[in-house]
A and B are shown apart, each in its own frame.
Chain A
Amino acid sequence: MADTTIKRTNTITHPRYGCAIGAAFSVAAIPGAVPIANCGPGCIGKQAGIITTASQGTAYPGAGNIPSVNWGENEVVFGGAKKLDDLIKSTLKIMKGDLFVVLTGCSGELVGDDVEAVVKKYRNQGYSIVSAGTAGFKGNNLFGHENVSIAIIDQFVGEYKGRKQKKLVNLWFETPYFNSFWRGDYEEIKRILEGAGFEVNILFGSLSKGSESWKKIPKAGFNLLISPWVGLKTVKHLEVKYKQPYLHIPVIPIGEEATSAFLRQVVEFAGIDKTKSEKFIEEESKQYYNYIEHFASFFSQYWFGLPAKFAIVGDSTYNTAFTKFLTDQLGLVPLKAVITDNPPEKYRDKIRDVYHHLTEDDEVSLEPEFVEDGYWIEKILEETDFGSEIGVIFGSSWEKQIAADKNLKLIETSTPSANEVVLNRSYVGYKGALTLIEKVYTVAMGNR
């Protein structure tokens, strides 16, 4: 009887993302910016539970320090505007910062408080303060991340009519904290773009100059979006607002070939001189292949078996990039790709297309599945035959049990990750690719 009653429904277990108010951590990732959470007492802590995993921690004003209205019964009955007003006023006195972002959650939006009126009062007094709607029922934390970015652009960055700088590029990339390796990845992308001759305007993380960087957005020659879909709304908004073109790179470059091609594409798009970028690419390639050559002497003659087949579970950002690199550059065999971040329907065909053309020889094609409910993700993995060699799941810690049951290796590359301590590790670009190779093949050790 069970089979007909067990079906794919709206239910989610083992969640892979939080809700829109999780964008408080995108704000906390901007140096000098302070999120002000206009929501219940538990909302922010819960989002921290899924957004800041892999032991990456957070720093002030994250880490439990986020000002919050902590909605109680009184606010539900009488409205929360008064308490929000008190909170903003005291936040400005207590929390050091130069940009304040009010994020309103489910209760505030359902009760229908006029949050903008409260915020405006402080904006009129000269404070840099922004308001963003981030009710959990409106969308997930990726939706919230874009909403907050656009709110800051509209309410803080404001109008700009001046000249643009050709070599200055705004980087729109991984969602802070939600991608556990974002800090190292931002560092690598900045490094290589600078190597190719660009000035990179970083908006999130310690490499950003915070509000100064945000104010600089309209001055950039163009927006560079490296992401399958998150950020598209933002760069399209900027295109209209500042007549600023954007270059969309849907698959993060990993490995020398993809990274060099990426740099050439960006240089071409910007129309800047190629001399510097070509020299940089040459030098990077030399270093990269020296490592690869050494690695090859292990890779090609290791007696005791290497990882062969893999499945990957995670958000589309790493999922696309990893599947491509592992398949095309290392010759691993992809069995399943489960995409967990619920990309809007309109973006899905383009994402599918990446998996249809994974390799240079175009011999490997895979049909990705879009699933958010862990129950079904585990069923998919359960029914997958990983063969007799070392099989690998690239996934979250939710896949730990199924990996153990099937005697597979789990490499935690997606959120939530409970078994990694990540500081500056990166898996992208030139250097990150080498780290990824280390990680993948280290699982073969001890298997003899």
Chain B
Amino acid sequence: MTSTRKINLSMSECDNREMRLGTITSWDGSASELTKASDYEERSAEKQQKCCGKRGRACQLCELNMPFSQETTCAHAMVSCQIGNITDCILVEHSPIGCSAQQHGLNISMNIGLARRHKQPQTISILSTNLLEKDMVFGASDKLRQTIRDAYYRYSPKAVFISMACSTAIIGEDIDSIAYELQDELGIEVIPLHCEGFRSKHWSTGFDISQHGILRSIVEKNPKKKQKDLINIVQLWGTDYFSDILKPLGLRVNYLVDMASYDELKQASEAVATTTFCHTLGSYMATALEEHFGVPQINAPQPYGIAATDEWLRTIAKVVGKEKIVEEYIESEHKRIQPELDELREKLKGLYGFVMTGSAYAHGLTSVLKELGIGVDGSIVFHHDPVYDSGQENQNTLKFLVDTYGDIPYFTVSKTQPFQLPAILKRSKADFVIIRHGGLATIAAKLGIPSLAMGDESIPIGYDGILRTGRIILNIIARKRFDRILARHTELGYTDWWLSQSDPFILARHPELLDENEESKGDPLNG
């Protein structure tokens, strides 16, 4: 049977983002060019099985193929940071211990997150099957069975998830069969997640895989009641500002997935609508909830900056029948923030900011900077989805950014590649950068540019988010004094040849450069 649905929940595996959305990870140009090349509307039509008529390469966004790459992160790590943070389920990582090595960092973010959501602290417990060489030779199924039983008997979880890693995928571990088997034995859901690190070109597929497992096995398929005042928000670990923002519309927030409990995930199908702080993270979940569980998603830009927040609130109000009060609410909010906003704009006048974060979130953050009167002439997003799973017109975040706040001349798609930063920042007037991922801020710092580590992704949300962001930037700017010293006394470390390049993608355009300077081969210290 051919389904017209965009998301297929019948298989235990979830299609990679590059297959579903045409995701790219390497591109350079202006934001308006990328908007045009993305062709959101055509792609959206295609997703609904109404092909745009173009075929083959015409449907693809051209990528820059670089021979050089630096460490990034993977889908498996994203599953750890999503599923591992569910409060009453256990994640079993079926792999050597190295795949679980970042657990303690996740414990920190989970506990800060629990405090932000007014929940009890708890120590994260992700279990590793701790595989060794003999397991690679003889198979590791018994170890997996044992670790799932350990999870069950030690912690009495509501469900157990299994995550596949590179090594276990290569040796062909059958986690689906073992999940079925142990589910029968233990009487709880045992959910396989096919998230091996080599699987997808971008780690964000790991968000989708996590959500896929939750949607298939935890979300209530036949909700007996609707909770008319409950709205799902797909979020990470950020502070709960959404409750205050949505209270005037009579809504309570159900946060998915981090720090949620089994029951909070289960009730997602009882909610009146789904929205998110970032379509990169939330689109798969929201679209599946809409298609398979009848929970509508909010067809609006993300709530960053005044215009988008207005739009977002109006759309929610419409879905929940609060159109009458929303205009008054919006107007009073505008009035409330205006004096401090004016003050901040005055103080921040003339500054330039540079965002380098996940894709859709970067679009939102940039709107907030623009709202504060801060110049933005460049940005890095770690991938780009030309369309989101919903295909909804008003969710085209990049187009909204360009249409509302103007073009960004240097808009780079690149997956946490610090080596490109010297060239990228050279063409920008940035006074500060905003980051969430490791490795990039230290390069900026060595160039004398301070960084705002936006660890709490909720900071820029809504009307108050603009003010919160502005206040923080004033503090960040003061840190340029530290970076000035750092820049004076430390080196970037890259070769002089590389640092003299002005095109961060030169090796993709001219791979033959790698074969030049043959005479230098006896002198590898070619800086």
Contacts and interface: CB of A to CB of B under 8 A. Distances in A.
A125 B521 CA distance: 6
A418 B95 CA distance: 24
Interface string B79-111: 000000000000000011111111111011000
Contacts of A65: 70-71, 418-419, 439, 443, 493
B498 A20 contact: no
Nearest to A35: B71
Given A15-B128, A107-B198, A90 B507 contact: yes
Nearest to A99: B524
A44 B169 CA distance: 19
A72 B199 CA distance: 6
Contacts of A19: 96-99, 101
A297 interface: no
A9 interface: yes
B199 A398 contact: no
B101 A22 contact: yes
A47 B101 contact: yes
Contacts of A138: 132-133
B76 interface: yes
Contacts of B75: 42
Nearest to A1: B153
Contact of B71 (A68, A95, A128, A136): A68
Q: Which of B96, B136, B153, B527 neighbours the largest number of chain A CB atoms within 10 Å of its CB?
A: B96
B102 A140 contact: no
Contacts of A73: 198-199
A94 B99 CA distance: 29
A58 to B, nearest CB: 9
Given A46-B102, A47-B101, A126-B522, A66 B96 contact: no
B73 A42 contact: yes
Contact of A11 (B104, B130, B165, B438): B130
Contacts of B96: 19, 106, 135-137
A107 B71 contact: no
Given A60-B492, A416-B104, A140 B97 contact: yes
A174 interface: no
A71 B438 CA distance: 20
Q: Which of B101, B169, B198, B442 neighbours the largest number of chain A CB atoms within 10 Å of its CB?
A: B101
Interface residues of A, number: 84
Contacts of B104: 14-15, 49-50, 53, 396-398, 416, 418
B101 A44 contact: no
Nearest to B125: A13
B328 interface: no
Q: Which of B99, B136, B497 neighbours the largest number of chain A CB atoms within 10 Å of its CB?
A: B99
Contact of B128 (A12, A93, A94): A12
B121 interface: yes
Interface stretch (B54-62, B141-149, B269-277): B141-149
B526 A10 contact: no
B101 A93 contact: no
Contacts of A17: 97, 101
B121 to A, nearest CB: 7
B72 A41 contact: yes
A239 interface: no
A21 interface: yes
A61 interface: yes
A400 B122 CA distance: 10
A90 B514 contact: yes
A96 B71 CA distance: 17
A18 B438 CA distance: 18
A89 B493 CA distance: 17
Interface string B125-139: 111111111011000
A416 B103 CA distance: 10
Contacts of B146: 9-11
A11 B167 contact: no
Contact of A94 (B71, B123, B494): B494
A199 interface: no
A89 B514 CA distance: 7
A184 interface: no
Given A10-B147, A20-B98, A73-B198, 11 more contacts: A14-B125, A17-B97, A47-B98, A60-B491, A90-B68, A90-B514, A92-B526, A93-B514, A110-B136, A137-B167, A375-B125
16 contacts: A11-B128, A32-B525, A42-B75, A49-B104, A60-B491, A67-B70, A71-B166, A72-B198, A76-B198, A92-B524, A93-B498, A93-B513, A107-B167, A110-B136, A127-B524, A401-B122
Report the 9 A-B pairs with minimum CB-CB distance, sorted nearest first: A64-B439, A19-B98, A42-B74, A60-B493, A49-B102, A136-B96, A90-B68, A136-B98, A18-B101
